[in-house]
Amino acid sequence: MVKLALSLVALAMTGSVAAAPAPGGATPAVSGTTFSFEAWVEDIIAHPDTALTVDEALAAAEAADAVGSAGGLVKRATCGPSRWTRANGRDATACVDDLARKGNNGVMCTIPKNKLEIQMCQIRNAEVVGIKHGLAHKQGANCNAIARTVGRVFDRCWRADDTVSGSAYCVTNNNINVAIKGA
């Protein structure tokens, strides 16, 4: 029991070190040998002109010893399900970049009241879909929040074969489940 508690404390400290701000207030997407797609999205939002490109982000993730959440132990994403086709990592990363940049321009990702789901981005093999429960109300969030959520899914579900699929509830609207999968 003591070993488990010490391991959890050490792991929590590792996550907080990886998410520590860099000088000047910017949060780096790469810290030591850990890369976080979620932190990369935050960098796109805060510093769109200097953030890593899609290719640079994938190269950093591939070179890192670990890919993990910028939020430490908080991993609310679910990988799969197995019936979904997995999205190509490069295409999915391009969707994340596209959504974050749309959000910077104030674009809302919205599911209308008469739909249960809507495609929020598709680039080649990758598709980001927003899913809500019930037809009665529309649901929406700034596309930055959708990008942040996909970043969280990436941190949990990206595989060494450069594919990803999974879902998580939107970081700002728990009525939207955001899924990344193959198109």
Give the tens place of pLDDT for each residue, 140-162. 999 999 999 999 999 889 888 99
Token match 């609310």: residue? 76
Q: How far apart are CA 42 and CA 66, in angstroms?
A: 19
- 134 dihedral zone (left: phi>0; alpha: psi -120 to 50; beta): left
Q: Specify burial of residue 115 (Cβ count, 10 A radius: 0-12, 13-18, 19+).
A: middle
Domain count of the fold of the chain = 1
Residue 91, pLDDT above cutoff 70: yes
Q: What is the pTM of this model?
A: 0.74
Q: In terms of DSSP bridges, do strands 66-67 and 34-35 run parallel, antiparallel, or are they unpaired?
A: parallel
Range with lowest mean pLDDT among 2-6, 24-28, 64-68, 105-109: 2-6
Q: What is the pLDDT of residue 15?
A: 41
Residue 20, pLDDT above cutoff 50: no
Q: What is the pLDDT of residue 176?
A: 94
Residue 16, pLDDT above cutoff 50: no
Beta bridge mates, 163:
88
- Sheet containing 78-79, strands listed edge to edge, beginning at the edge strand earlier in sequence: 78-79, 166-169, 176-182, 126-132, 117-123
pLDDT band with cut points at 50, 70 and 90 for residue 22: very low
Q: Which residue segment(s) compose the domain that 34 sits in?
A: 2-182
Q: What is the pLDDT of residue 58?
A: 86
Q: What is the pLDDT of residue 168?
A: 94
